[in-house]
Structure 1
């Protein structure tokens, strides 16, 4: 019991520290020059428009344009790197004021969003492995698989010709995954916006563009805000964009990333790449542990409440606890995350902090399992012990606290350890709502380096080391409690 109290005390301190930590989410901001701070959603794996450099800064055409426009128009902003799909959903649910993420202006999107004047004219091209020689035209795709990124012009174009040329579409959420599918020969080719594929090929991502001079007509990119909202932000963006075009800054930004003299990343050795990537990955690991500990702290409280309700004598409370467990064990974690972070704020028109959305999701999910762990532990104790205590005049609550629960804790410890490990790994799923933890940090690094094998191996080893250490510590604690 002493070890258990030490554990709870430590978790409490971590919780207090975490709540007070500023900047739990990765963002970049302009200099504060006005009272209003606009929240801007963006992608994190879409070079050369937005990506994270080796120093951890968000850079790219979109990021430089936004910074220059904010400086020109004197407004303050914070960038939320959510990923494209999450950024669009955040805009729909009013979690952000605007989105700049290489977002094509389409008639369908105009029904939900207001767009700025176009700031880039794109086009769709096809790419294959650098050593692939069998694909020269769309006819060569027949009977094969083609990778695309959801929500892009490349996806729309591939879908429009897939039946004509007889190929199967394989959708991915980010460009790096799409490229890897082609490099590993699971798909024969991919479709994406011309500047993105051309930039990647120049940075040695292992692909080459097919028929570069015959790219398909694509859409234009625009800055988006929710329909009828933030007109002042849209006015500032358009005015700033016009000024950048007039003074030549717009052209300088484009030339920096996709011009003839655009910088090409220096080739790095395997160990050099891993060492330079470690700071970002360790920061992601720290957030993974932080969210896990905080969520399990609250999940234990929730589990205790509903666990006692399930073993109590009140049938209404037992029924309520059963519903809680069935609901939050039955809903997949990714669906629960979307519902809590995007669905609820949209329905009730308020903004939910990412920190709260992530912790609430993990707490409810883990709390349901904790409830069953506690119920099972208590009910595993021989009923005769409670009957003996009651026959000796010991009150029900005192008998539960002094006799049943101490024995149940010893039985529950292995399950608690297992739930800790599960929740630690479940944090990776929350990257879908923009949480930059260890897995998402790996994706961001890969988007810049295109080194999937090295980075995913490093991430896997980091998870393995941490989980092994935690398991050993927890097993030692279990032995001490059992002897006590």
Structure 2
């Protein structure tokens, strides 16, 4: 078997398409992760509350997201919701919404475990000192919960990034879409998908390095205990 990678790297068009696809994948994953984390905080808080009107809907949301494939969520959001609600977005908007919803469902369960792992005695002591509930959450509960669950959040983020190639199914020109395009022009499937594998690994490793730097800066106080 003759490997002909030069058909990819000697073409400036293909290299540019791969670079654009990688940028799209990174941008949508990063934005989806940040938005999903924000939604997940609200969901995790709702699930830890004693009020059923908050905890039950949040639990249903999380279970639906975690028990349906991302591609089903993507197709429903891209093709079902516009018909139901009579609106039209660009496909990247649908992809971002689907990723945000998917990320939030997984992150919420991780954060809920983190919130429940913070000793309640700390919250009670802070309340006894007269600190308002919001300040207790912001200064005591939230930092400790995120610090405890940060490795799990990292792993989940990387795993979800590696599934984002599915968004190419609705025409998003991400990294997987770029590979499929090049494959359809060169018919060098092995070389193309080996290249995609290497690029996904490199991006995942870059994400891990960045997340480690964030952890070192954001949770430096853990080493001072």
How many positions carry a matched residue from both structures? 218
Aligned to 1:460: 197
Aligned to 2:9: 274
Match of 2:167 among 425, 430, 442: 430
Aligned to 2:61: 324
Q: Does 1:291 align with 2:28?
A: yes
**How does the TM-score come out when normalised to structure 2?**
0.89
Structure 2 CA distance for aligned equivalents of residues 479 and 419 of structure 1: 19
Alpha carbons of structure 1 residues 316 and 281: separation in structure 2 relative to 1, 3 Å: same
Aligned CA RMSD, in angstroms, stands at 2.0
Structure with more helix by fraction: 2
The CA deviation at 1:349 is 4.2
How does 1:286-365 map onto structure 2 within 5 Å?
286-365=23-102
Unpaired runs of 5+ residues, structure 1, are: 1-267
Unpaired runs of 5+ residues, structure 2, are: none
Structure 1 CA distance for aligned equivalents of residues 136 and 40 of structure 2: 20
Aligned to 1:94: none
Question: Is the Cα–Cα contact under 8 Å of residues 274 and 455 in structure 1 kept in the other structure?
Answer: no
The CA deviation at 1:321 is 1.0
Deviations 1:283-303 (A, max 9, x none): 100100111112112112211
The CA deviation at 1:422 is 2.3
Alpha carbons of structure 1 residues 446 and 389: separation in structure 2 relative to 1, 3 Å: same
SS in 2 for 1:407: helix
- Greater Rg by CA: 1
Structure with more strand by fraction: 1
SS in 1 for 2:75: helix
Question: Is the Cα–Cα contact under 8 Å of residues 179 and 193 in structure 2 kept in the other structure?
Answer: yes
Deviations 1:147-202 (A, max 9, x none): xxxxxxxxxxxxxxxxxxxxxxxxxxxxxxxxxxxxxxxxxxxxxxxxxxxxxxxx
Aligned to 1:28: none
How does 1:206-217 map onto structure 2 within 5 Å?
none
Aligned to 2:156: 419
SS in 2 for 1:367: helix
Structure 1 CA distance for aligned equivalents of residues 83 and 134 of structure 2: 43
Alpha carbons of structure 1 residues 391 and 371: separation in structure 2 relative to 1, 3 Å: same
Alpha carbons of structure 1 residues 389 and 270: separation in structure 2 relative to 1, 3 Å: closer
**How does the TM-score come out when normalised to structure 1?**
0.43
Structure 2 CA distance for aligned equivalents of residues 355 and 345 of structure 1: 14
Structure 2 CA distance for aligned equivalents of residues 373 and 455 of structure 1: 36
Structure 1 CA distance for aligned equivalents of residues 114 and 105 of structure 2: 14
Q: Does 1:396 align with 2:133?
A: yes
